[in-house]
Structure 1
Amino acid sequence: MDAPALAVTGSTGWLGGLVARDLAADGIRQRLLVRNPDRAPALDGADVRRCAYGDDDEAVRALEGVRTLFMVSAAEHPDRLGQHLGFVRAAARAGVGHVVYVSFYGAAPDATFTLARDHAATEEALRASGMAWTFLRDNLYLEFFGQLRGEDGAIRGPAGDGRVAAVSHPDIAAAAGAVLRDPAAHAGETYSLTGPEALTLAEVADVVAEVQGLETTYVDETVEEAYASRAVYGAPDWQVDAWVSTYTAIAAGELAGVTDDVERLTGRLPLSLREVLSRG
């Protein structure tokens, strides 16, 4: 039997796992690229290969024979961009024809959210690679908002009255699955994946309070207060910059635009924050 023409990264994580299981349920054969093969999901028709971002030669071997690659962004790391660029080069060396890359909403070299700049650089590398590409630019995750409430009942951050069109995990996975079932139809396309509404964090707090039955308020920190309140975690500077800049990107209006891309790709409306929180 020929090797699968589709490779999926990140199948031990939430997004790659959702996508891989959905494709397997439809009988689509795939190669699962994982750092630890023992943790790969047991799926019918899956060919498991060891492959880690940062090891370009290993990636070339793992990608041989692959025509379409679903590239989930690497775990946050001080050299994540370097890992991405090496993986793109490896994919091109291996003869991959099309990369479907999970990027970030509004990715740009001057994006307020620091990690969105890395996504922009990865997109540029893919455009220059000679391979076909499709970009799935996810907004922030709706599930994230269900975890923001502190012990004092407050959601804190310097987002002001900016709005964010966050999207759910299932909707991102369904959109990715639609592209991977017919990648040629989506070559050269960029999809900005959002939920059905753009909310302020004060409105997010109201929905959290309503659905979870817990008093929840939004506290609009200054940038200085945001850095001080997160210093207790002892995270490196680049990580704290990323945390704080998610809020300042909201304040700047860079995450506010609602699109119909999820509906166009999946044929159904995306889930709202209230629906996501109600699911638990």
Structure 2
Amino acid sequence: MKVVVTGSTGFVGGLVAQKLAAEGVPLALLVRSANRAPALPDAQVFETAGYSDLEANVAALNGAKVAFMVSGAESEDRLRQHKQFVDASAQAGVEHLVYLSFQSAARDATFTLARTHWETEEYIKASGMKFTFLRDSFYIDFLANLAGEDGLIRGPAGEGHVAAVTRADAAEVATRVLLNPGAHENQTYTLTGPESLSMNEIARIVGEETGQSISFYNESIDEAYASRKAWDAPDWQYDAWVSTYTAIAQGELAEVTSSVLDITGRAPTSLREFLKSTPR
């Protein structure tokens, strides 16, 4: 059974492709640049112009019953691109779409990009294809790099908690689902780490494991927007950056689930475990 994998030049998609190839699964890898695609056995590489490239995507998806859809790069028109890829999947005869979504995706989610994830999920449901939604939390991998050069993690997260998950755990779940999609038809899983941590706790753990002096400064909303103006970006991007923290403050990312354990058979990696295993 051929499986289509998008995002194979990135971390999660690339790891999923490697794991599936190791299991002997024939793959179709959809990439923007063929020379960046991983060299894997029994894998066809299809170069397309992205999710909006309907004709090329239909050709790549043809003959596949299952596809893994990594969410597109953050952009103002990401939802439109997602919908075009869903259309291509349905047109090509894909029966089951596994979509990498986001924790607490909802129409009115505080994190602005989680709204796009919810709309994508709804569009996939309306397509008639079977689906599996993997709603991962924020990635533990990035928590170690939140602090600025002054050692401060800044953001309006208050006393809120986040149940962050590693990218490797998210990839392992996706792989298990793609190896046995029938067992996960029309299911939504929230993928989290083993614990829910406040930003103060994150700062303390990162400091202890890296030997750096790290602390958390709870910015006001105005301060958060002002500090991020150091980077030239469109307004929607500023909204997304700030709302990553306000979503935590609202408690929308605090839930800890057993999905990683249930699907992979092993407990998810904690922030401290990740830091201990990461070369510095």
Deviation at 1:60, TM superposition (A): 1.1
Q: Give the match's secondary structure for 2:4.
A: strand
Task: Tell me the equivalent position of 1:96.
Answer: 94
Query: Which of 119, 144, 159 is the aligned partner of 1:146?
Result: 144
How many corresponding residue pairs?
Answer: 277
**Aligned amino acid, residue 38 of structure 2:** P
Task: Tell me the equivalent position of 1:129.
Answer: 127
Task: Tell me the equivalent position of 2:68.
Answer: 70
Query: Which of 51, 54, 61 is the aligned partner of 2:52?
Result: 54
Task: Tell me the equivalent position of 2:243.
Answer: 245
Point out where structure 2 has 5 or more consecutive residues left out of the alignment. Answer: none
Task: Tell me the equivalent position of 2:226.
Answer: 228
**Aligned amino acid, residue 70 of structure 2:** V
**Aligned amino acid, residue 218 of structure 2:** D
* Aligned-residue RMSD, C-alpha: 0.7
Structure 2 CA distance, aligned partners of 1:109 and 1:255? 15
Structure 1 CA distance, aligned partners of 2:168 and 2:2? 24
Mapping of residues 110-259 of structure 1, within 5 Å: 110-259=108-257
**Aligned amino acid, residue 24 of structure 2:** G
Point out where structure 1 has 5 or more consecutive residues left out of the alignment. Answer: none
Deviation at 1:58, TM superposition (A): 1.7
Structure 2 CA distance, aligned partners of 1:111 and 1:42? 38
Deviation at 1:152, TM superposition (A): 0.8
Q: Give the match's secondary structure for 1:69.
A: strand
**Cα pair 2:160 2:251 within 8 Å, conserved:** yes
Q: Give the match's secondary structure for 2:79.
A: helix
Structure 1 CA distance, aligned partners of 2:2 and 2:167? 25
**Aligned amino acid, residue 225 of structure 1:** E
Deviation at 1:64, TM superposition (A): 0.9
Instruction: Give per-residue Cα distances to partners, 1:114-135, cap 9 Å, x unaligned.
Output: 0000000000001010111000
Q: Give the match's secondary structure for 1:128.
A: helix
Instruction: Please list every run of at least 4 consecutive aligned residues from structure 1 whose deviation after the TM superposition is greater than 3 angstroms.
Output: none
Identity of aligned residues (%): 56
Q: Give the match's secondary structure for 1:70.
A: strand
Instruction: Give per-residue Cα distances to partners, 1:182-212, cap 9 Å, x unaligned.
Output: 0011001000000000000000000011000
Structure 1 CA distance, aligned partners of 2:127 and 2:199? 39
Q: Which moved more, 1:56-65 or 1:194-203?
A: 56-65
Structure 1 CA distance, aligned partners of 2:161 and 2:128? 37
**Aligned amino acid, residue 252 of structure 1:** Q
Q: Give the match's secondary structure for 2:162.
A: coil
Deviation at 1:235, TM superposition (A): 1.0
Deviation at 1:214, TM superposition (A): 0.5
Structure 2 CA distance, aligned partners of 1:26 and 1:185? 18
Task: Tell me the equivalent position of 2:28.
Answer: 31
Structure 2 CA distance, aligned partners of 1:155 and 1:172? 25
- The answer to whether 1:9 aligns with 2:16 is no
Structure 1 CA distance, aligned partners of 2:53 and 2:39? 24
Structure 1 CA distance, aligned partners of 2:130 and 2:202? 38
TM-score when normalising by structure 2: 0.98
Task: Tell me the equivalent position of 1:108.
Answer: 106
Instruction: Give per-residue Cα distances to partners, 1:65-113, cap 9 Å, x unaligned.
Output: 1110000000111100000011101110111010000000010010000
Structure 2 CA distance, aligned partners of 1:89 and 1:209? 46
Structure 2 CA distance, aligned partners of 1:126 and 1:28? 24
**Cα pair 2:2 2:25 within 8 Å, conserved:** no
Q: Give the match's secondary structure for 1:125.
A: helix
Instruction: Give per-residue Cα distances to partners, 1:139-165, cap 9 Å, x unaligned.
Output: 000011111111111111000000000
